[in-house]
Amino acid sequence: MDVPDLKPTSHSEEHLVLDAPAGHGFRVGDVLYALPIHICPTVALYDRLTVVQNNHS
């Protein structure tokens, strides 16, 4: 959602794999908001949900 140039390529449990263009500048630990391709495995891992809307939770 934050970076439209990123393309989802895979989703496994709570991991969403994104393909970034060359020279992207992202570093391990950078925070990005993304929508999973398939959410069922993700929500099964947690007891609660935080909704973020208009940059507010």
Close Cβ partners of 6 (under 8 Å, ≥ 6 residues apart):
18, 19, 20, 32, 34
DSSP 53: B
* Whether 19 contacts 6, CB under 8 Å: yes
pLDDT at 30: 87
Does the structure show a pLDDT above 70 at 1?
Answer: no
Does the structure show a pLDDT above 80 at 41?
Answer: no
Does the structure show a pLDDT above 80 at 44?
Answer: no
Quick: pLDDT tens for 9-39. 887 766 778 888 888 888 888 888 776 666 6
Name the one residue in this structure whose structure tokens are 């439209």. Answer: 4
* Whether 38 contacts 11, CB under 8 Å: yes
